[in-house]
Amino acid sequence: MRCPHCSADDDRVLDSRITDDGTAIRRRRACNACNKRFTTYERVEGEEQLRVVKRDGRLQSFDRRKLVSGLLTACEKRPVSSEDLEAAANRIHQGLLAEGEREVTSRRIGELAMDELRRLDQVAYVRFASVYKQFQDLGEFMAELKKAINPR
């Protein structure tokens, strides 16, 4: 494993544990070259690969890292742990696999991400929704805020 700090490939595993939902192994590592620590996740690569149908009709392979990155961006400077975001990404991915479809729309992924963020942090939810739903004016933004404040 390459160190994300110095790119050396000499590290040691300090701790290994199964994630809460049991879909991955979290490994805490220390680089032998620079002594900095980092975390990696090991998960089974599924035989069933999801394909994402983008808004313009293009097909892409499902990329869990893109999903986690979007969740991280929405939660920037918010009190949401990386473990909570990893668990949310796992729930989204497992939910999509459980639906049994090999192709899923980017819209469906966005809806599931908003559901997870709504539970984790309302500010992160509104941030994500404002980008995802491409609000055109303040009225649309306020309507989404009202939904976040008073969910049905």
Mean pLDDT calculated for residue range 28-40: 95
CB atoms within 10 A of CB 30: 15
Checking if the pLDDT of 82 tops 80, the result is yes
| pLDDT at residue 77, rounded to an integer | 92
Are the CB atoms for 67 and 113 separated by under 8 Å?
yes
Please state, in angstroms and rounded to a whole number, the distance separating the CA atoms of residues 26 and 15. 8
Checking if the pLDDT of 17 tops 60, the result is yes
Average pLDDT, the chain: 86
pTM assigned to the model: 0.65
| pLDDT at residue 112, rounded to an integer | 93
Please state, in angstroms and rounded to a whole number, the distance separating the CA atoms of residues 94 and 62. 12
* DSSP labels, 34-72: T--EEEEEEE---SS--EEE-TTS-EEE--HHHHHHHHH
DSSP single-letter state for residue 150: S
